[in-house]
Structure 1
Amino acid sequence: MPNLQLRHLVLAFAGLSLAAPASAAEASGAWQLGPEARVTPVRVSMMSPLPAAPRVFAITPERRALLNTIRYAEGTWANGQEVGYRILFGGSLFDSLDRHPNRVMRTARYASAAAGAYQFMPFTWDMVTRAMGIPDFGPESQDQAALFLVQRRGALHLADRGELSPDLAARLAPEWASFPTLAGRSFYGQPVKRLNDLRRFYEQNLAQLRNEAAAVWEDVAIRQAPPACNDASLSCQLERVGEPSTAR
């Protein structure tokens, strides 16, 4: 095989590794420490090619509810406060949102460099920033990156349906270890949230977001129109010229 073809083949196989994290260390989660820890193979499902991601994903109530549910599952919900975007693995905070902190934190059983509202691993964050041109680690950038990962898992159309189905959760499980597979377990053998708990949070959050959106539109709809122009000023005369004729 010519060297150029061989090089392309090697790059193609390397590219497949971006389809899903090769280990728990590359997911938005943690890896286990201790003498009993060992490397175990992880079966990674192939994903169909996706179109190039837009620079900006629209944030609908359905998508925001899913983002909030991911935060809830990852332990960064923080009652919806912006401080959740500054959380390191283990619960401590970092200061600057200029870039991913890339700092390994340790607990009794786990160590991880996951950070932010969606607990991005550095490897994952680098991949997303290259794909989208994200300039910083601020809240908007983290939201966009999370939606990119949802789309990358072929789940954005499911998110737009307005329900947290078992299929949607299972598609996100390889990306966020706290989401359950169809078998109800973590994709990486880590602590996992029950689907019923995630669905309850999602539905309550979505209902609140939809009510808020409806209130905004209602406020626009009930605003009074300006009074009809009925004096002899030049501006009123010009306005009447532009009105449709009522003559039959």
Structure 2
Amino acid sequence: MTFLARSICRVLPAVSASVLPLLSLSAPAGAVLPPVGNDRSRLVMLPEEAEISALPYIITPERRAMLNTIRFAEGTWKGGLDLGYRVMFGGGLMSSMDRHPNRVIYSSRYASAAAGAYQFMPFTWDLVKRSLGVRGFGPEVQDQGALFLIQRRKALSLTDTGVMTPLLAAKLAPEWASFPTLRGRSYYGQPVKRFTNLKGFYNLNLAQLRQIRDAKRDALADKASETETGMPKAPVCTGPTILCGMP
């Protein structure tokens, strides 16, 4: 849940309190990215693509890993599926993503209007819209909005290093109540994720996302080579040399 409108929802826990899975430090539960499909949790951009993109923020593996980790902390990871972009406080789903639902949901003893993959409060989303000029509330603009908030907390340069540190988590704690301060507590006294769990999830995501980036880069290089030579690149043989036609 983002920091604005705390006067309305100061004592309310983020959605993470009800739907967060527990992680094993050796193998974070649910951290593995979906193997197929075009879910945004897998989306990264190469520099060549960034040059022609009209988006304010490039989606590098390091930034995507942080976005995924925020989703994990806020309880909207949903196995990396785009379904997480539709989550409202309490775990219900938005029927439309044309705009922020701006709907107060009552769950147990609490109430909140937080919505989306990054649990934007309505006032926070209004700030995003005014600052970035985005429309709608779809996955792409939610990603951009979250990166804007990361930059606003002066944490984007730390995010770009690809190292999850206690300081980085603490910089984001005033924005997302599920992130721990340097003392390991929520900035707002709400349920919080342990730093070790966030780091484990982040590291596994980042490794997979870098593999996706490298595979994408190799595919583009192969395509460029074929265009230049007019010949498809010979497949790499990884079996015994006798099966590869080698002496």
Whether the 8 Å contact between 1:30 and 1:114 is mirrored in structure 2 is no
> Normalised by the size of structure 2, how large is the TM-score?
0.71
Aligned residue for 1:225, secondary structure, equals helix
CA spacing shift, 1:104–1:220, aligned 2, 3 Å: same
Runs of 4+ in 1 over 6 A off after TM superposition: none
**Max Rg structure:** 1
Whether the 8 Å contact between 1:85 and 1:116 is mirrored in structure 2 is yes
Q: CA RMSD in A?
A: 2.3
Stretches of structure 2 that go unaligned for 5 or more consecutive residues are: 15-53, 231-247
Q: Mapping of 1:92-111 within 5 angstroms? A: 92-111=92-111
The amino acid that maps onto 1:95 is: S
User: Is 2:24 aligned against 1:23?
Assistant: no
CA spacing shift, 1:22–1:76, aligned 2, 3 Å: closer
Partner of 1:122: 122
What is the CA deviation profile of residues 164-187 of structure 1, one whole-angstrom value per residue up to 9, with x for unaligned ones?
Answer: 111110010000000000000000
Q: 1:109 deviation in Å? A: 2.6
Partner of 1:140: 140
Cα separation, 2, equivalents of 1:199 and 1:69: 8
CA spacing shift, 1:173–1:226, aligned 2, 3 Å: closer
Whether the 8 Å contact between 2:5 and 2:121 is mirrored in structure 1 is no
Percent identity at matched positions?
59
Q: 1:23 deviation in Å? A: 2.9
CA spacing shift, 1:150–1:227, aligned 2, 3 Å: closer
Cα separation, 2, equivalents of 1:23 and 1:213: 38
Q: 1:216 deviation in Å? A: 1.3
Whether the 8 Å contact between 1:24 and 1:188 is mirrored in structure 2 is no
Aligned residue for 1:209, secondary structure, equals helix
Whether the 8 Å contact between 1:118 and 1:146 is mirrored in structure 2 is yes
Q: 1:110 deviation in Å? A: 1.6
Whether the 8 Å contact between 1:26 and 1:121 is mirrored in structure 2 is no
Cα separation, 2, equivalents of 1:227 and 1:127: 47
